[in-house]
Amino acid sequence: MPDPSPRGATPPRPPRASLRTSVVWEVLRDALDRRAEATGGETLDILDTGGGSGSFAVPVAQLGHRVTVVDPSPNALFALERRAAEASVADRVRGVQGDVHGLFDVVERDGFDAVLCHGVLEYVDDPAEGLRNVVAALRPTGVLSLLAAGLGGAVLARALAGHFTEARQALADPAGRWGDADPVPRRFTAEQLTGLASDAGVDVGAVHGVRVFADLVPGALVDTEPGALDALLRLEAAVAELPAFHSVATQLHVLGVKHR
């Protein structure tokens, strides 16, 4: 994870966690830096919808920005409060209980420079409506960071684990689920995610494949082979933007900007 930023330093994460977050973090941090430059302000107002315990909200606050986290889970908000306090950014992180469908019961429309929606569309009742609300919380030209489970990554993972029928089931299922025991309620293709973002009023700027290889390689190799984690992180960064790999990524990240 995160290198120190010009606006504030962020602490190193456990090495394995960086495999889950590094591609998204790099893309997001660049986008926030550009937004801060464009608005002529050091401090941005950021909304993290379904931000959970703050795995992104807290590092974003450590960059010097003000972050509001909206999440339905009281436990997650409690963990967020603790994490923000431990990172000495409690004054810049606000947790609010709420959900994307009733977003404007708890935050204002057109009020944020950037909105994160990471790992949430999989769980909401109506992803199109949820994302329209997320985008409506942005100021014109504000930044959308959207991360969701990719269909192809799940198909590949089930097949490589020898669960061929489940892999085929995920392909055939409209929600991309491999069976009743699948813990993820919905997955997306890159086309579906960019379509949802465009329909919500966002100009899509970039799509990245996240965790293309990370979930497929043996953990012991990454943990014990000298230099393997760094090499894998560099490989993930190299393939993230290549469209050919989007169709097999565990997650897909869409970065865009709200229409004026």
Ligand X SMILES: C[S@@+](CC[C@H](N)C(=O)[O-])C[C@H]1O[C@@H](n2cnc3c(N)ncnc32)[C@H](O)[C@@H]1O
Closer residue to ligand X, CB minimum distance, 98 or 142: 98
Closer residue to ligand X, CB minimum distance, 82 or 224: 82
Closer residue to ligand X, CB minimum distance, 72 or 141: 72
Residue 111 binding ligand X, by CB under 6 A: no
Cβ partners under 8 Å of residue 166, min gap 6: 158, 178, 179
Closer residue to ligand X, CB minimum distance, 25 or 178: 25
Q: Which of 185, 65, 68 is nearest to 124 (CA)?
A: 185
Residue 118 binding ligand X, by CB under 6 A: yes
Q: What is the Cα–Cα distance from 119 to 185, expressed in whole angstroms?
A: 11
In DSSP notation, 153-193 reads HHHHHHHHTT-HHHHHHHHHSTT---STT-S-S--B-HHHH
Residue 39 binding ligand X, by CB under 6 A: no
Residue 213 binding ligand X, by CB under 6 A: no
Using the contact rule CB under 6 A, the part of the chain among 65-73, 174-182, 235-243, 245-253 near ligand X is 65-73
Q: At its nearest, how many Å lie between ligand X and the CB of residue 253?
A: 11
Q: What is the Cα–Cα distance from 251 to 213, expressed in whole angstroms?
A: 11
- Count of residues that bind ligand X according to CB under 6 A: 18
Residue 119 binding ligand X, by CB under 6 A: yes
Using the contact rule CB under 6 A, the part of the chain among 25-33, 69-77, 106-114, 168-176 near ligand X is 69-77
Q: Which of 124, 134, 151, 157 binds ligand X (CB under 6 A)?
A: 124
Q: What is the Cα–Cα distance from 85 to 79, expressed in whole angstroms?
A: 10
Residue 145 binding ligand X, by CB under 6 A: no
